[in-house]
Chains A and B, each alone.
Chain A
Amino acid sequence: MSGVRPDYVRPVDFKHGRVDMSHGSGGRAMAQLIDELFLRAFDNEWLRAGNDSARFAVPAGRMVIATDSHVVSPLFFPGGDIGCLSVHGTINDVAMSGAAPLYLAATFVLEEGFPLADLKRIVASMASASRAAGVPVVTGDTKVVEQGKGDGVFITTTGIGIVPEGVDIAGDHARPGDAIIVSGTLGDHGVAIMSQRENLSFETAIESDTAALHGLVGAMVAAVPGIHCLRDPTRGGLATTLNEIAHQSRCGMLIREQDLPVKPQVSAACEFLGLDPLYVANEGKLVAMASAGDAATLLAAMRAHPLARGAAIIGEVIEDPHHFVQMQTSFGGRRNVDWLTGEQLPRIC
């Protein structure tokens, strides 16, 4: 009896504990989880204030807001996890308008029974990514759903940023003659995820390329304020992104297969499964479109940045009433690069 301090509070058991319904009830257990896990990891003035919202002054200028839900499976994969992915993903969405990201909000939907050790790992990863990017998580929410109603954890992040003066980047700004530039190798993230899938297991050292791209975008916008389009080719891969922009900008595109940067291992993994790297997700790459005259300057600025050493011009925007994205194959022929149909599934035939 005498060994126990009067102010002793049993700490959350992160080693063996699991999420249960009390963690979402709004009561003491939830408050303790928030305090010992989220506050401790993210640790900033807004969270320390302990309010339901975060207050800050907004610099003058045009604000952008972006949001993303993250439901990736598996939660942990080579090169990252759902935590850092959720931070990078929203930072990137904000950055794709040319904006400097300012703040993030994060919500968690936890499944009853989810191991707290895994949750702690994920939150630590998020905090680390947020700190490295210089974009704090200033507010958030947690809910718990019954077992079987959630895939472990779903994370939604929302971010805001300010677009610098003179920058006007949008999906409908591509113009015939524009150069199409990608910041690096394609398909790394998707292949890293696939290599973990139970029935498709193969051994490979490919890691997800998940990264925050706002620093790169900052450098690009400084070099060429007149960039027309920026987008990160996530789900559906580069092919989907190009088709989206072609559709929005009401133009066509012609890319060259031999100029597409793809790691040999990613090519090989795609061969095994009958996948096309053009449709495989990326989480740390962007595609940019700028006028032909700006292309060389932009490319140089990108290659000077550690996240885009492998940047390459892969094609041009062209006049096309059908808004097709076409590709000159390395074989010398021509073919459509169409929208993705459903989910890209591996094939045997």
Chain B
Amino acid sequence: MCLAIPALVVALPEPQTALIDVDGVRKRVSLALVEGVLPGDYVIVHVGYALTRLDPEEAARTLATFAAAGLADVPAKEAAL
């Protein structure tokens, strides 16, 4: 529940530490809870720790699901809500 934010890993300055970036805001976070994270990966950050990697393919798939929501069977008047 807790406030966690997807962030891009830009560097690994020290062991178990990642430098992450969100729109130019950078912070060092701990990698103690994840494995095999590399620069270019996106991770979910909570209270200074990376909790998991974010899967870009699944993200794209989810967005596509939103876009396709009921497209086929929604009558015009409801679509104009």
- Which residues of the other chain, B, contact A201 by a CB distance below 8 angstroms? 27
C-alpha spacing A313/B20, complex, angstroms: 34
Interface residues on A, range: 10 to 19
Contact B24 A349 (CB under 8 A): no
CB distance from A296 to the nearest CB of B (A): 30
Report chain A residues within 8 Å CB of B3. Answer: 274, 347-349
Are B25 and A272 in contact, CB atoms less than 8 angstroms apart? yes
Docked pose: A205 CA to B24 CA in angstroms:
8
> Could you tell me the distance between the alpha carbons of A18 and B67 in the complex, rounded to whole angstroms?
65
User: With the chains together, A268 CA to B24 CA distance in Å?
Assistant: 8
A267 and B26 alpha carbons, distance in the complex (Å): 13
- Give the residues from 26 to 52 in chain B that come closer than 8 angstroms, CB to CB, to chain A: 26-27, 45-47
Task: Tell yes or no: B22 within 8 A of A by CB.
Answer: yes
In the complex, the answer to whether B25 meets A269 with C-beta atoms within 8 Å is: yes
Please determine whether A265 and B24 come into contact, CB atoms closer than 8 angstroms: yes
Q: Is A203 an interface residue (CB 8 A)?
A: yes
Is A268 touching B27 in the complex (CB atoms < 8 A)? no
- Nearest CB of chain B from residue A202's CB, rounded to whole Å: 4
Determine the distance from Cα of A348 to Cα of B49 in the docked complex, in whole angstroms: 12
Q: A347-B3, A348-B3 are in contact. Are A271 and B24 (CB under 8 A)?
A: no
Binary CB contact string for chain A from 129 to 159 against chain B (1 if under 8 A, 0 otherwise): 0000000000000000000000000000000
| CB within 8 Å of B: which A220-274 residues | 264-265, 267-269, 271-272, 274
B26 to chain A: which residues have CB within 8 Å? 202-204
Q: Which A residues touch B45, using CB under 8 A?
A: 272
- A265-B23 in contact given A274-B3, A348-B2 (Cβ < 8 Å): yes
Inter-chain CA distance A206–B5, complex, in Å, is 19
For residue B1, CB closer than 8 A to chain A, the reply is yes
A336 → chain B closest CB, angstroms: 21
Known A348-B46, A348-B47: A204·B1 in contact at CB below 8 Å: no
* A274 to B46 Cα, complex, angstroms: 11
CB distance from A280 to the nearest CB of B (A): 14
- Across chains A and B, the number of contacting residue pairs, with CB separation under 8 Å, is 39
Interface residues contributed by chain B, number (CB under 8 Å):
13
Chain B neighbourhood of A265, CB < 8 A? 23-25
* Complex CA distance for A276 and B2, rounded to whole angstroms: 16
**Do A202 and B23 form a contact, CB below 8 Å, given A348-B47, A349-B3?**
no
- Give complex CA distance A302, B5 in Å: 36
Q: Which residues of A contact B22 (CB under 8 A)?
A: 268, 271-272
The complex places the Cα of A147 from the Cα of B27 at a distance, in Å, of 34
B1-17 CB mask vs A (1 if < 8 Å, else 0) is: 11101000000000000
Give the chain B neighbours of A349 by CB distance below 8 A. 1-3
Q: Mark A201-221, 1 if CB is under 8 A from B, else 0.
A: 111111000000000000000
Residues of B within 8 A of A264 (CB): 23-24
Distance A203 CA – B2 CA, assembled complex (angstroms): 22
- Report the bound CA distance from A278 to B46 in whole Å: 23
From 101 to 155 in chain A, residues with beta carbon under 8 angstroms from any chain B beta carbon are: none
Min CB distance A268 to B, Å, is 4
Min C-beta distance of B38 to chain A, whole Å? 21
- What residues on B are CB-neighbors of A347 within 8 Å? 3
Given contacts A272-B22, A348-B2, A348-B3, 10 further A-B contacts (CB under 8 A): A202-B27, A203-B25, A206-B25, A265-B24, A271-B22, A272-B27, A347-B3, A348-B46, A349-B1, A349-B2
23 interchain pairs (CB within 8 A)? Answer: A201-B27, A202-B26, A203-B27, A204-B25, A264-B23, A265-B23, A265-B24, A265-B25, A267-B23, A268-B23, A268-B24, A269-B25, A271-B5, A272-B5, A272-B25, A272-B27, A274-B3, A347-B3, A348-B2, A348-B46, A348-B47, A349-B1, A349-B2
Q: Which residues of A contact B (CB under 8 A)?
A: 201-206, 264-265, 267-269, 271-272, 274, 347-349
Sorted nearest first, the 8 A-B pairs with minimum C-beta distance are A268-B23, A264-B23, A268-B22, A203-B26, A202-B27, A268-B25, A265-B24, A204-B25
